[in-house]
Amino acid sequence: VYVTHFLFSMAALMFLYVTDRVRWRQFMRRWVTLSCVGLVGYVLMPTVPPWMASERGTVDTVHEGIPRGWSYVDGQAIADLLEFGRDTINPVAAMPSLHAAYPMLLLLFFVPTRGAIGRFLLWAYCMHMAVTVVITGQHWLIDVFAGWACALGVHVFWNRREARAADGSATDATPRPVETAASSDPALV
């Protein structure tokens, strides 16, 4: 589940790019904005993930479950790749959790256009990712809630902006009467 964070958003973007460029632009705006909000969060509030807090002795023992999980299913190459990634990225980029934010963005964006099974699968994916990042020691629960809040905020922001733009273009497309000297001067009418 953890690794799908790197795949599902990109798969959604590719799907939309091929099928519906308008929706692709809408989702891309949200995805880029959410990524930027996450970056700002990491800069303004660098927080250590649970596994790092455990290594420093701040909290009780928390095992980082992601590399261990891959080694149990004979996926040592993937575990090594994730370990390399962890060592080369910003280790204090935990707040907000983009691992939780992207599934929430997928849920918010796609739920209105999906049937009951699709909505359930989107909701289940969102919840499953939240549980996964917490139980594997990657994020605190507050990081997950912050990620969800960021996704909701970005989605609402773009919904309102797009609605305003649609209202503005509808208003601009309506023909207006042309002002002439005769129509503006009551004495001439």
pTM, 2 dp: 0.72
Highest mean pLDDT among 1-5, 95-99, 112-116, 145-149: 145-149
The answer to whether 133 touches 89, Cβ cutoff 8 Å, is no
Instruction: Write the pLDDT tens digit of every residue in 157-166.
Output: 999 999 998 8
Compute the distance between CA of residue 106 and CA of residue 122 in angstroms, rounded to an integer. 7
Helix axes 8-19 and 98-110, enclosed angle (nearest 10): 30
67/3: higher pLDDT = 3
> Encoding tokens for residue 139?
């994020």
| Nearest CA-CA partner of 126 in 145, 112, 113 | 145
Give the tens place of pLDDT for each residue, 138-149. Answer: 888 889 999 999
H-helix or E-strand containing 22?
helix 21-44
3-state secondary structure of 93: strand
Amino acid at position 141, single letter: L
* Separation of alpha carbons 11 and 24, rounded Å: 11
Greater confidence (46 vs 70) lies with 46
pLDDT: is 159 or 168 the higher one? Answer: 159
Q: CA 15 to CA 106: how far, in whole Å? A: 13
| pLDDT (mean) for 96-125 | 92
Least confident of 43-52, 124-133, 145-154: 43-52
Are 92 and 46 in contact by the 8 Å Cβ rule? The answer is yes
What is the overall mean pLDDT for the chain? 79
CA 105, CA 147: separation in Å to the nearest integer?
Answer: 10
Q: Name the more confident of 129 and 95.
A: 129
Q: Find out whether 2 and 133 touch, Cβ atoms under 8 Å.
A: yes
The structure tokens listed for 61 are 């023992």
Q: Give the pLDDT band of residue 189 (cuts 50, 70, 90).
A: very low
* Per-residue pLDDT at 156 exceeds 60: yes
What does the alpha-carbon distance between residue 4 and residue 98 come to, in Å, rounded to a whole number?
12
Residue with tokens 């930027």: 36
> Across-strand partners of 93?
47
